[in-house]
Structure formats: C-alpha cells, structure tokens
Amino acid sequence: MPIKAYKGITPTLGHNVFIEDSAVLYGKIHLADDVSIWPLVAARGDVNHIQIGARTNIQDGTILHVTRKSVHNPAGFPLIIGTDVTVGHQCMLHGCTMGDRILVGMGSVVMDGVIVEDDVFIGAGSVVPPNKTLKSGYLYVGNPIKQMRELNQGERDFLSQSAINYVILKDEYLAMLK
C-alpha cells in the first residue's frame, strides 16, 4: 500500500486520485481532486507538510520532501504545489512553493524556500537555488537557473493542457483497476 502513516498522521486524498502502487507517501500530505502520482514517487510529509493542488501530476521517480521547523526557521519549509502543475520524471522538489500552471522539466531540482509564481516553464535538468523567486510568465533554464524569455500564448495554453492530458491518462488507469 503506497499510503503510510507517520506518527499517526496519514495522507488525505481528494476525489479521483490515482497513486501507482510503487509510489510511497508518508505523513501529513494532502492530495486534491484528480491528482496523479506515478511510479516510484517518494513523498515524505514527516517533519512538515505537503499539499498538492487539483489536477497536478507527479511523474515517475520524483522525490517530494520538506524542511523541519527550527529556531532559525520557525515555520520550516513545507512543500506546496498548486493546481494544474506537471512535474516531470525524476525531479526533486524540496520545501518550495509552486503556484498554478507550472511545468517542471525532467530531472529538475527545486530547493528550499523557492517560490515559483503561476504560469512558469522550468527547463529539463534545471537547478533552482534556495530562496529564489521565479516570476510568472517566463521560461527558466540552467544550473543555476536563469530567466530566458517570456512564454508565448501557445506555451501558456500548453501548461493547462498538460494537466488535462494527465487527468485523462489517470482516469484510464483508474478505469483499468475497476
């Protein structure tokens, strides 16, 4: 079973959520409606919480984690992911806050305290250093990440369409389980 308690706290799920059997989710995690969690995702809401918005998909091999509360950082860093977000294969999201309609390219790393505003593309293999803010409406790439250019309308439209595509795929997988 991919859902596991940590100190008596178990992840909570919205409606029509798909979690592939090889994924593991521990602790204080909330998945909104139509979220999909794909093979080999590891998510630990143990020393802080994780919140994932509606229609967001977390693809194969991604790691989701948080930063504990401390004297120097009383709130710690939870992991907050908005709605209609596509997180590509083998990403690492750690204690960051992501808005809505974001695409995180395969193999990217987003670190503690990062804020990603709405409508952002993060190119594959990018590394977002701690406490950086990625402004809405841009493509960002590199290690360390740099703002490259504004998104065009087709790219902006794709952000929502990518989420819709994964909702459709997730529903096909759920239908096979019935």
H or E element in which residue 155 lies: helix 153-177
Output the CATH code of domain 3-177.
2.160.10.10
Q: So what's the pLDDT on residue 1?
A: 63
The tokens for 20 are: 């592939």
**Cβ atoms of residues 119 and 159 within 8 Å:** yes
Q: Rounded distance, CA 77 to CA 68, Å?
A: 7
Query: What 3-state DSSP class applies to 159?
Result: helix
Q: Rounded distance, CA 45 to CA 161, Å?
A: 29
User: How does the average pLDDT of the chain come out, rounded?
Assistant: 97
> Which phi and psi angles does 8 have, rounded to 5°?
80, 0
Q: So what's the pLDDT on residue 4?
A: 95
Q: Could you identify the residue written with the tokens 């967001």?
A: 56
Mean pLDDT of 24-32: 98
How long is the chain? 178
Mean pLDDT of 54-69: 98
Report pLDDT digits (tens) over 95-147: 999 999 999 999 999 999 999 999 999 999 999 999 999 999 999 999 999 99
Q: So what's the pLDDT on residue 160?
A: 95
pLDDT of 33 over the 90 cut:
yes
